[in-house]
Amino acid sequence: MNSNIKNRDEIEDIYKWNTANLYKDSEEAAKDMQFIRELLEKFHGLSGKLSNKETILEALLLQDTLDQLMEKCYTYAHMKLDEDNANTASLALFDQVKSLFVTYSEMTSYFIPELMKIDYTLLEEYSKAEDFQDYRHFIKEIGRNKEHILSDPEEKILSSFSELTGAPKSIFQILNNADLKFGHLKNENNESVELTHGRYHGMLQSQNREVRKNAYNQLYGVYKSFRNTIAQTLINSVKKDCLLARLRKHNSALEASVFADNVDLSVYNNLINSVRKNISLLHRYVEFRRQVMKLPELQMYDLYVPLVSELNKAYTYQEAAKLMLDGLAPLGEKYLQDLKGGLDNGWVDVYENKGKTSGAYSTGTYGYHPYILLNFNHTINDVFTLAHEAGHAMHTFYSHNNQPYRNASYTIFVAEVASTLNENLLINHLLAKSTDNKEKLYLLNYNLEQFRTTVFRQTMFAEFEKIIHQKIEEGISLTPDSLCEIYYELNKFYYQGVQLDDEISMEWSRIPHFYNAFYVYKYATGFSAAVALSNGILKEGQEKLEKYLAFLSSGGKDYPIELLKYAGVDMGTPQPVDDCLKSFGESLDLATKLL
């Protein structure tokens, strides 16, 4: 672990994504922004004229062009800002794009309400024509959303507030990524290093308990000192969610969120119910970990350290990429060739640098290759993160290459299937080739940690989100104290057997996903679906693989539950989650026998 974080210009170009594939610089992006303004005037000129099939088609085609350009500008601007959140030029460009998006929203807001005024049976009839074939699912969505679209003036008012409704998220991002400083502390080698988001998880994996404890306490000490500010930011984000849901005539913010994917509310509730019903499995795992670590009691900072210290080795980025590609061999030669081509040609931004956005993600815009942001820190977790984000990237790559623009974007609900399936295949590969019991125990524990953090932990997050939104909807005020109390009580239920502390009650304050309401449950449902699909590919081979690759290429041409049914998994029932938790229990049994 290096003691100092490098500046952006100190990172070798081969480890940076190639944003020049989008725009060579901000001046070139500005030209497209001006072109967008011109197209917006033309599009706005069609307001009040959507009276026939030809004009509607003209508007749809023009909107496609506008949306693609808008997405390209936004993708470029947010990637440049994510490279260094302290770069004022990048911040200015991103602000310009956000402002343009407000203008875009205002000038296009008439379109859906005006379509809503047209007899839906007539729109259905138009959609049967060959030149409307790319818009059939879109028109179907018009009918499904009709009761939740407001009048033209009301939609315009809401659009004008879009920048303000995004304020809680943007404020938290700047605070979390640019302003919060966590100080320095001693690492395993007694060297003073700066504590950052990227290093925190690595320190929690340290075999030195003092390093883990100090990193944990120091990080949460900083968040605790900002508890009132961050609480108000999150509370206002929750209020915004509830207000928008109410304005759009949904019964709750949760209902509004699942409606967007055409997912029944029971899917969300079934997840929480299944995990709660099987929570004894997590309690068994906690006790297993305590026994292996030979600790009188387990602390929260003891949950991430690998149980087999001899195998806690570091990986170069090149080693991680090769290991991932070997693990993904069951997905076929074409998948591997396409992915390797991307890794070698500017898809990935690898290492942490000063001001860089923490965590990892994949992004992309239609007509261009996808991108992956990492903060690679040489651990096995980083290898799996690469595989995870590669799953997103390849889903984007195949969807964009096989679907028209209108159907190319997939929902987060199915996106998490592609990413976690890659992780499942990789862990199966590593376990299958291992002949050493200690190595198997190490890998099994890593696998168990994936279950814990992706199914149990994300479900706990989902339950937290549900509770705090319900309280606002019931007229109950949220405070910093109540947020901490709710979060502490959930940890008390989920992590029975762990010695809880005041610090864990502040964990909600550092979770960026809470600013995308009801997002995290899709990690758990996606993981459950991925377990089923990966097991199918490994056990049944080519037929299951072809269905899965067809799923990756399907984008958003149908609703996520239907797309998964075509691939062979019915998430409308509790079965996939129950089966996933059963697999967790089986892995825990095997790990116990290896001791």
Indicate which residue of 71, 106, 114, 389 is catalytic: 389
Please state, in angstroms and rounded to a whole number, the distance separating the CA atoms of residues 210 and 204. Answer: 10
> What element of type H or E holds 30?
helix 26-44
DSSP 358: P
> What element of type H or E holds 422?
helix 412-433
Q: Read off the tokens for 427.
A: 């862990």
Q: Read off the tokens for 91.
A: 């911040």
| Residues facing residue 373 across a β-bridge | 349, 361
Distances (CA, A) of 340 to 324, 326, 337, 417: 10, 11, 5, 21
Dihedral through CA 252, CA 258, CA 261, CA 264, nearest 10? Answer: -110
Distances (CA, A) of 503 to 211, 343, 453, 484, 514: 16, 39, 18, 9, 18
Please state, in angstroms and rounded to a whole number, the distance separating the CA atoms of residues 286 and 217. Answer: 21
Please state, in angstroms and rounded to a whole number, the distance separating the CA atoms of residues 25 and 63. Answer: 25
* Backbone phi, psi, residue 110, to 5°: -70, -25
Residue whose structure tokens are 């089966």: 579
Question: Is residue 297 helix, strand or coil?
Answer: coil
For the chain, the farthest-separated pair of C-alpha atoms sits apart, in whole angstroms, at: 75
Total residues found in the chain within this entry: 595
Centroid of chain to Cα 253: 19
A 10 A CB-CB count for 478 gives 20
> What element of type H or E holds 372?
strand 371-373
| Catalytic annotation present for 389 | yes
Catalytic residues: 389
